[in-house]
A and B are shown apart, each in its own frame.
Chain A
């Protein structure tokens, strides 16, 4: 059993190249979204858009659609309605994923039409379980040849995906399944905040974004806000991606809608429920893309079209964490605090 297009299991072997050292961290990495997608995302690339139910980079996905990218391999653990939209726009020819549904809200009908009926075109699938995908990013980030996991014994997943292999334990334990590294050309994520040098801070559900970013050759991060370096350094444990791991920072408030940004705005659950109906009808999906992607310039215009009353309805009450004390071990001579 295999996908509709035979998989070359060694296709990604040249992905073990070390990541180029990014020399400058003091220069600003802030660019706008169209520039970031234009510079870093080309046709035929392998692109990871991660965010597990939270901080999903919808604005970046829409910009990829708007710029007419084609034949992308989309890596996304949960290809939810973001994938439905990119696939309907013919941006994606291959999906590397582990859960094909819109959270609790139902089926992804564009994905299903293509898989079940090749309507309007087939879609190649490379399928894992969630932990299999996490381990692929982990291996990719650490430049390991594979990563072992205690899943798949007796499962049909390895039969449907020849990249899931079984190896001997060199220490004498039972055989174990392994997954290969995943090294996207570009990983795109959305985060709460970053500074201009590219230190990225996130909180709430952080999924596999750190692994997916370190696994990639280039990393684009869209953020709700830009903060000063002092704010970042007041809470360094919250920096999941240090500046050396980030190539571009894009200020993009509301960039995760209809998903959410913890502490900034809530998930637009009604939007998810409404999508299931849109998704059932291929022509309705195309009309939706015309209205919400092709017909507007950027995320600010998208939020305008969404309307302030719907947007304000997603506002959340503040619930602040208690500050923690990082302390200062030593004061410099002559600089003692009063």
Chain B
């Protein structure tokens, strides 16, 4: 194999596109071993990561699957393509109790409607819980993933003060900060959300009890754009960089091999 391989050709796909966000999300999985993938865009991103970053990534799904080897895109976390040829299929008590709460998951990968400055998530309601304007899916396994995975990566489909508010309408999955506010002895084992990927930027929390900082801005986006679109006065990392673009091959894989039915891509 040549060490003089040409640099990959970069795609000009828009930074707020699903292709861009999925490719950025997939790169976050480099060096991680066991990934717990939630419903939606995370399913797309882990599929891309398995093809482009590291084929040995072990995919764990809340339906009880550990070590999935899907040969096509899973339409949801209980798709039979995740079962056929998997390393293991266990009960949900074993999956949530032993695998997740037992501390075996490196990265939890979830989506959210709202994210606060410490990485607490709302996936339940917009408006009050007992008379919501919009009823969202609720926790599913998210409350468990955020509490128990070593760290979590969150993908947001919007970056505006509604999606990143000063205060959540409802907290489904609390950060360690919020758990500590309730009772310092009850803070769960996980770091909480380490990284948030949005249509504008990559945000990171430098410590378990820290606030998010702007870590990367997507091409064509300024730090001021991100600050203006965030519902709290967000901190800025000392060394903000531009988010690397996906490669043409990333985008081809997503469109022509992974999501051929346009389940997640538009």
Contacts and interface: CB of A to CB of B under 8 A. Distances in A.
A78 to B, nearest CB: 8
B75 A105 contact: yes
A98 B135 contact: no
A96 B132 CA distance: 18
Interface stretch (A60-68, A152-160, A245-253): A152-160
Contacts of A232: none
A1 B124 CA distance: 14
A101 to B, nearest CB: 4
A150 B76 contact: no
Q: Which of A2, A105, A153, A267 has the most chain B CB atoms inside 10 A of its CB?
A: A153
Interface in A202-236: 203-208, 210-211
B135 A175 contact: no
B195 interface: no
Given A127-B138, A160-B129, A174-B185, A52 B147 contact: no
A204 B144 contact: no
Contacts of A244: none
Given A155-B171, A175-B185, A205-B78, A262 B83 contact: yes
B80 A153 contact: no
Contacts, number: 185
A100 B113 CA distance: 14
Interface stretch (B93-101, B206-214, B223-231, B236-244): B93-101
A185 interface: no
Interface residues of B, number: 65
Interface in B97-119: 97, 100-101
B123 to A, nearest CB: 9
Given A153-B186, A262-B83, A205 B75 contact: no
A52 B140 CA distance: 11
A157 B80 contact: no
A100 B76 CA distance: 14
Contact of B101 (A149, A174, A269): A149
Interface in A291-315: none
Interface residues of A, number: 60
Given A104-B75, A129-B140, A154-B120, A207 B63 contact: yes
Contacts of A152: 143
Interface in B156-214: 170-175, 177-183, 185-189
A99 B76 contact: no
B122 to A, nearest CB: 9
A39 interface: no
B130 A160 contact: yes
Which 3 A/B pairs are nearest by Cβ-Cβ distance? A53-B78, A154-B174, A154-B178
22 contacts: A53-B79, A54-B80, A100-B136, A100-B137, A101-B39, A103-B77, A104-B39, A104-B76, A128-B139, A130-B144, A131-B100, A131-B141, A151-B144, A151-B188, A154-B179, A154-B181, A155-B178, A156-B129, A159-B129, A205-B64, A205-B78, A211-B93
